[in-house]
Each structure stands twice: as structure tokens, then as C-alpha cells.
Amino acid sequence: MTTYLLDQVFHIINGQPTVQDITTYFSKMIVHSLIVTLISLIPLFFFGFWKRATIPTVICAVFLMQFQNFSYLLNVNLNTNIVNTVLCLLGVVSVYLSIKMVDRVGDI
């Protein structure tokens, strides 16, 4: 919204954004937010429950969320759809294992 309002004053965007452009942007934004959320939960089970290490959990989660940006720096050519799918599945597995462990052990 801020970019759109700034465009009205400074004419940053060439042309006028259409409703389809805005809808596409917001749908991609929501999907990407869900992907990043699932990816950030990958270290929850191993570092969060097994090691009980908060700082490594957060650092690993931030690194995994930015993994696509780091692949360009390392000159690694990866298919982003496959990488996102695999990392999201790992995040879902980590959440499932974390919930099962909390149910089994209880809150300590």
C-alpha cells in the first residue's frame, strides 16, 4: 500500500497497476508468508526440544528462511519450487514431531 501511495506522488511505477497486478501480488505475499513460516519451524524439533537451545534455534530458522537468497551468493543453481516444497515438508514434519513429543512427555 505504501508503494502504491508513494507512486501516486513520485511516479515510481511505470504505468498504472491493475487490479490483477495487486491481486497477484497479495496472493504471492500470502503464499510466501506461509512458506517462510513453515521453513522457520524446521529447527524447532531438534534444537528446540532435543537440545533446548534457543539461540541456535533462532539462528538456524533465520538462515533457513533466507536460504534462497544465500544460494545466489554461493553460485548454486537450485529449483526454488523443489527447495521450497522440501523445506516446507521438513517444517511440517518438525511441527508434527514436536507436537507428538509434547503430548508424550508433557510440558516440562
Note the pTM of the prediction, 2 decimals.
0.74
Q: How many CB atoms lie within 10 A of CB 35?
A: 18
Q: What pLDDT shows up at residue 24?
A: 94
Q: What pLDDT shows up at residue 36?
A: 92
For helices 19-40 and 54-65, what crossing angle results, to 10°?
A: 150
Low-confidence ranges of the chain (pLDDT < 50): none
Q: What pLDDT shows up at residue 6?
A: 83
- The residues spanned by each domain of the chain are 2-105
What backbone phi and psi angles, to 5 degrees, belong to 26? Answer: -70, -35
